[in-house]
Amino acid sequence: MATGDETSVWRRFVFGDEELPDPDYPLDHVPGGERKGLVSISAVLLGYVFFAGTIWAGAEVGAAMGFGSMLTAMGVGYAILGVYVAALCGIAAKAGLTTVLLARYSFGRWGAKFADLILGGTQVGWFGVTIPMVAIPTATFFGLDTPTFTAALILLWGIFHLATAYFGYEGMETLSLVAVPILVVVGVLSIFIAVQDVGGLSGLFAASGAGEMGFAAAVTIVVGTFISGGTQAPNWARFASSTRVGFWAGLVAFLVGNGFLFISGAVGGSVYDVTPAGDLYAVLAAQGLAAVGLIALILNIWTTNDNAAYAFGVAGSEAFEFDRKRPFILVGGSIGIILALVGADSLLIPWLSTLGQYVPPLGGVLIADFLLCWRMRVPRMDDVDFANVRWTGVIAYTIGAVVAVFTAGQVVPGLAAPQVIPGPVGAALNGMVAAFVAHLVLYYLLETTGVVDGHEVSTDAEHL
């Protein structure tokens, strides 16, 4: 039977110091004294976007189009993605709120619970499908790729990924400030070696590609690499010292950072015959730098997966209106590790496809609501009597999700739907734009005219 002291230790481990507020403010605006500068926010967001899937996408597009055409498609795609995420980051910095707390303004107190499910619940799955991406190569590197050793590594890496999220923004910031410069140096080194191996830039640009992909399809892949993940970016951008810092940090990470990874994948994929095409670890191993490749892969996955753990932590706090994120990080992470152990990594591509359909419409509603309905005059939560359901936001999201479904031709992978809406830049962007427009129309037709109720804001409310 546990003694009082043992109970106290476990309680402190799970909840932290209960006499102090959670240092990450999962249910409140981040105070001015806790805000961060451009370097800190950019480092955390860059760590988040440095993900192997973007490298693979670059290799796929580069092989299909050729390097020169790929650069054009990449520029257009990441300009779209960068502005989308930067807008969300600027909004979050202004309000000092996580994505799910912003959703309370746009969807209502109970309507926001769906955002908790889709943003938090899906990240539990993401956490599970991503751990094997580092555990399996680690086992292979040491020549011990047995089921038992791989399972042990999944457990080990899962705990490590949880650890930085457990310590909140400070833990992720510390890791990112170390990892991001290393990943940039390794990426530049790998690109330089690859360019030399292919005979210089002329050899790189000489490749015409297989001609299997049109410009619109390429832009779709570029935008789809991180548009769902970008909707989570407010979780960290809310710590920005100003709207300007939040906006530019988001733009740097999702335009420049993603672009760098995409180019790295395209270069590696065009020069080396590795599987997956362009894979950072496999390319560096082909260049005789296997150990460096493993270190880069470890940091690459770690700085993304700790953000996933943090995302389901703050989503759980909002869902249960409990001002501690750690219990939800620990529970969600445990579920994610179990998913990894039972082979969830095979679901990575279907999972990305599902996220790309159902998350971006939520971002579209948030951007429309805060920029053009609230007009960035955000009242403090304490001064708002939130409606249980804000129907304009809920209906607009539903419209966006339906548009995404009929653009993609699937409800989820394996469950088809009629593909009746053209998608020159993909289901993710179509759904986001449809939700954005629908929310504006519904707000001015229904809410401002009193047909449906919105929130009640105190007449003496403090606006941020």
User: Is residue 143 classed exposed, middle or buried when 0-12, 13-18 and 19+ CB atoms within 10 A define those classes?
Assistant: exposed
What whole-number distance in Å separates Cα of residue 342 and Cα of residue 339? Answer: 5
Residues 6+ apart with CB under 8 A from 313: 26, 165, 325, 326, 328, 329, 332
Q: What is the pLDDT of residue 286?
A: 87
Q: What is the pLDDT of residue 209?
A: 59
DSSP 463: B
Instruction: Please report which helix (H) or strand (E) contains residue 415, including its range.
Output: strand 415-416
**Separation in Å, CA 140 to CA 8, 153, 284:** 41, 11, 15
What letters, b where the CB count within 10 A reaches 16 and e where it falls short, cover 330-367? bebbebbbebbbeebbeebeebbbbbbbbbbbbbbbbb
What whole-number distance in Å separates Cα of residue 287 and Cα of residue 272? Answer: 9
**Separation in Å, CA 161 to CA 200, 352, 405:** 38, 20, 33
Q: What is the pLDDT of residue 11?
A: 82
- Name which of 96, 117, 341, 400 is nearest 235 in CA terms: 96
What whole-number distance in Å separates Cα of residue 449 and Cα of residue 373? Answer: 13
What whole-number distance in Å separates Cα of residue 121 and Cα of residue 332? Answer: 8
Q: What is the pLDDT of residue 6?
A: 61
What pLDDT, in 10s, does the model give residues 292-338? 989 988 998 999 999 999 999 999 999 999 999 999 999 999 999 99
User: What SS3 state is found at 416?
Assistant: strand
Q: What is the pLDDT of residue 160?
A: 94
Output phi, psi for 106, to 5 deg.
Answer: -85, -25
- How high is the mean pLDDT of the chain? 88
Runs of H (alpha helix) within 111-212: 111-116, 122-130, 132-141, 147-166, 168-197, 201-206
Can you give the residue ranges of every domain in the chain? 47-362
What pLDDT, in 10s, does the model give residues 157-167? 999 999 999 99
What whole-number distance in Å separates Cα of residue 405 and Cα of residue 356? Answer: 10
Output phi, psi for 322, to 5 deg.
Answer: -120, 125
Residues of the chain with pLDDT under 50: 1
Q: What is the pLDDT of residue 268?
A: 83
What whole-number distance in Å separates Cα of residue 372 and Cα of residue 437? Answer: 11
Q: What is the pLDDT of residue 145?
A: 83
What pLDDT, in 10s, does the model give residues 50-66? 887 788 888 888 877 77
CB 131 within 8 A of CB 304: no
Domain spanning 47-362: CATH 3.40.50.1950: no
What pLDDT, in 10s, does the model give residues 134-151? 998 899 888 888 889 999
Q: By percentage, how much of the chain surpasses pLDDT 70?
A: 95
Instruction: Please report which helix (H) or strand (E) contains residue 457, including its range.
Output: strand 456-457
Q: What is the pLDDT of residue 210?
A: 57
- Listing DSSP states for 364-413 in one string gives HHHHHIIIIISTT--B-GGGEE--S--HHHHHHHHHHHHHHHHHHTEEET
Q: What is the pLDDT of residue 21?
A: 81
Give the pairing type, strands 410-412 and 456-457.
unpaired
Q: What is the pLDDT of residue 31?
A: 94
